[in-house]
Structure 1
């Protein structure tokens, strides 16, 4: 059975009162990260950034509509990685099917605030945790919501093709997707990718400020039910995500959400 992202209990560890036991002393108050630092040059107007507040935990996100001359339509997408759920230590799998769980880089909640949470494939999909080690293709829905808020869905490869083929007189390719905030980009698309790194399948963490990773809401169409497709953008190269790239579902990767009402005709 599919878990409901709107009813799953969550613990808000990303609010203005959040503190990190690993990096902030008990005598100092943690100041929430200013996500405006990661954004592009787009203004906060009709054709620029807007904000949305997730009612599940009060977390506010910047989002933007990006039009692609290449695809001929636009998507409205969050310009930040999703940050929702109870933190679990990297050494553990996200296997409590009664709530949303997240990893924070180096088990530090301030990293979730800055870079977003990290999620295994089944957790991102809000499917039973067994779906990380067996096929659950029959449970994947069109416009799959997963852990996104109501009215939003998970980021797909077609969405990537839109933001990659954005309308810009000085189209900067992959560099145009990356934030200028420590990720060697121009962010001319407004997509604002940050190098959130990953939780490794062995329970560690790596690639912070070096790579942005995200799962796609689809399994690998082969015999390996334990694998799913994913995308990666590096701060060090201009290589584009490969449509057929896949790996095990047990990593912890970032999540982006797309507004459902802005679907292609």
Structure 2
């Protein structure tokens, strides 16, 4: 979608003021709070005024703007902050993002993420293309937006939050064929469940290494082997395993937090703790 009114400037620089100035230069992904990707109002700034100053005076009866609202689980979620789109999936009573979060600005692997106005992320091998595929990698405090309360929004979009260990247990108990969410199977460290991982992992070998044991993705969760960033400032295990933070520290005030993950050669799901400065994936769940 875009708008059908005439743009009051040569936005695409082709020497002609026509409908192409609108259709080629509206960022469809950014939605109603977005901006034109050129200086359409000729004020030397590329910002939201290019949309407000140019579109509003020229709007007609048939124009529209892309919608960003999220209504039903299964709809595509558009993150108002950057226009990125995420699939969503209903699994039991929960609504999950079906992709890892990818928000923020990339920083090098040897630099810690810090409490500043920007969201910072690692991309495996410092490659933005890996973030586009596997999502960003975040240190725990950055993911939580420096709020240690379990279940906080953190860096998730509005209306979503970082899942707790309990919410993860609910997910695993929903998809596993032998252990429900109330089972003691999901307590303590180690590899857990019978086949929950097989139902969570993306099927096939497009991203997972062989054998990607019995992966079906029957849940629609589409877990990917995003690897992680470890304390010696190196990346590890892309293609082999996933590591996804929970919003729970091991104990209040601890320097460690719990994370869940799948692996290429098992149907089980892991629960281990890791230092807060590791960089892992983030998967958001609906409030």
TM-score (norm 1): 0.68
Q: Say which of 211, 225, 228 aligns to 2:241.
A: 211
How much does 1:219 deviate? 1.4
Match of 1:93 among 109, 112, 125: 112
- Indicate the SS of the match to 1:179: coil
Superposed CA deviations along residues 6-59 of structure 1, whole A, max 9, x for unmatched, are xxxxxxxx99xxxxxxxxxxxxxxxxxxxxxxxxxxxxxx99832110000000
- Cα distance in 1, alignment partners of residues 273 and 176 from structure 2: 30
The structure 1 residue matched to 2:79, chosen from 37, 46, 54, is 54
* Superposition deviation, residue 239 in structure 1: 2.9
Match status 1:112 vs 2:131 = yes
Over the aligned positions, Cα root-mean-square deviation in angstroms equals: 2.6
Match of 1:230 in 2: 259
Q: Secondary structure at the match of 1:241?
A: strand
Structure whose alpha-carbon radius of gyration is higher: 2
Is contact 2:150–2:248 with CA below 8 Å preserved after alignment?
Answer: no
Distance in 2 (CA, whole Å) between partners of 1:48 and 1:121 is 27
Q: Is residue 134 of structure 2 the alignment partner of residue 126 of structure 1? A: no
Among residues 147, 154, 157, which one is paired with 1:146 in the alignment? 154
The structure-2 alpha-carbon separation of the partners of 1:169 and 1:94, relative to structure 1 and needing over 3 Å to count, comes to closer
CA offsets 1:95-131 (integer angstroms, 9 cap, x no match): 252210000000000000000000000000000xxxx
| CA displacement at 1:156 relative to structure 2 | 2.1
Runs of 5+ consecutive residues of structure 1 not aligned to the other structure: 1-13, 16-45, 68-73, 128-138, 261-265
* Aligned equivalents of 2:171, 2:267: Cα separation in 1: 15
Q: How far 1:144 sits from its partner (Å)?
A: 0.5
2: CA distance between counterparts of 1:156 and 1:77? 13
SS of the residue aligned with 2:242?
strand
Name segments (4+ residues, structure 1) moved above 4 Å: 167-172
Deviation at 1:143, TM superposition (A): 3.0
Match of 2:44 in 1: none
Aligned residues: 197
Q: In structure 2, what is the equivalent of residue 159 of structure 1?
A: 167
Structure in which a larger fraction of residues adopt strand:
1
For residues 221 and 250 of structure 1, the distance between their equivalents in structure 2, rounded to whole angstroms, comes to 16
> Could you say which structure has the higher helix fraction?
2
Residue 50 of structure 1 aligns to a residue whose secondary structure is coil
| Equivalent residue in structure 1 for 2:269, among 214, 218, 240 | 240
Q: Where does residue 202 of structure 1 map in the other structure?
A: 232
| Larger RCO (alpha carbons 8 Å, 6+ apart) | 1
Shift of residue 218, structure 1, vs aligned partner: 1.7
CA contact (8 A) 2:78 2:85 kept: yes
2:185 is the alignment partner of 1:177: no
